[in-house]
Amino acid sequence: MSKRERLLSAITENVVVRVNRKPKYAEPLYGFVVRVGANWALMAQVSDGGYADGFVAFRVDNVARVERDRTIATTFAQSQPDWPRQYPHDVDLDHTRGLITSFGGSGGLIGIEKERERKALWVGILDEIIDHHVYLHEVRPDGTWHDEPLGYRLSAVTAIYVQTRYLAALRAVAGSVPPG
């Protein structure tokens, strides 16, 4: 079964899955696969026990393995009032530029992972996309804002996070973007 078929099967089965990804430094993802596009898949993430924890989009080509979770997470998540979890807006899962624009259009924080980086997450508000680079007005882990937007190659982005508990906490501490 191909990676795409395994992801589509996870949608049909409606169970929590663990998605192992390439490159080797990528952390596994846990949650319900909710959509699969030409290049990206969207997952409603869960944390330990099945608690909802935002959404993550990841590159389909980076999927190494999809395994069904054997814990209580599926049963617990399905018992929650916000079940079934769906991303509330249309999302472009065919193009990286469109996906980032879809997620960043609301003005909320987004987190991006880049290829070949160890456990690093760049977090900010979408500033602009120029040519082959995305620019984020970033917030540091201590809740302070960088003075200027920072840019990253679109082709290096391997995962994009939105609406997670960490991003909500960081936004609460950081407040609004300072004028720059």
180 or 108: which carries more pLDDT confidence? 108
**What integer pLDDT is reported at residue 51 of this predicted model?**
93
The verdict on residue 180 lying in a domain is no
**What integer pLDDT is reported at residue 179 of this predicted model?**
62
**What integer pLDDT is reported at residue 67 of this predicted model?**
95
Half-sphere exposure at residue 165, Cβ-oriented, CA atoms within 13 angstroms: 7
Q: Which domain holds residue 115?
A: 3-174
Q: What confidence category does residue 83 fall into, taking pLDDT thresholds of 50, 70 and 90?
A: confident
| Mean pLDDT estimate for the chain | 91
**What integer pLDDT is reported at residue 155 of this predicted model?**
93
- Extract the tokens encoding 55: 């959404």
Q: Which residue spans within 38-121 are E strands per DSSP? A: 40-46, 52-59, 63-68, 110-114
The verdict on residue 179 lying in a domain is no
The verdict on residue 81 lying in a domain is yes
The verdict on residue 117 lying in a domain is yes
**What integer pLDDT is reported at residue 23 of this predicted model?**
75
The verdict on residue 100 lying in a domain is yes
The verdict on residue 113 lying in a domain is yes
Q: Please tell me the distance from the alpha carbon of residue 116 to that of residue 10, in angstroms, as a whole number.
A: 27
178: pLDDT strictly greater than 80: no
Total of domains in the chain: 1
How far from 4 is each of 11, 40, 65, 78, 85, CA to CA, in Å?
11, 10, 11, 24, 21
Q: Which residue spans within 47-149 are E strands per DSSP? A: 52-59, 63-68, 110-114, 122-130, 133-138
| pTM confidence score | 0.94
Cβ atoms of 12 and 68 within 8 Å: the answer is no
Could you tell me the sign of the dihedral formed by the alpha carbons of 69, 58, 163, 146, in that order? positive
Model confidence pLDDT, tens digit, residues 28-71: 999 999 999 999 999 999 998 999 999 999 999 999 999 999 89
Q: Which residues contact 4 (CB under 8 A, 6 or more apart)?
A: 36, 60
**What integer pLDDT is reported at residue 118 of this predicted model?**
64
Judged by phi (left if over 0) then psi (alpha if -120 to 50, else beta), residue 103 lies in alpha
> For residue 118, what is the domain's CATH number?
2.30.30.100
Mean pLDDT of 126-150: 94
160: pLDDT strictly greater than 90: yes
180: pLDDT strictly greater than 80: no
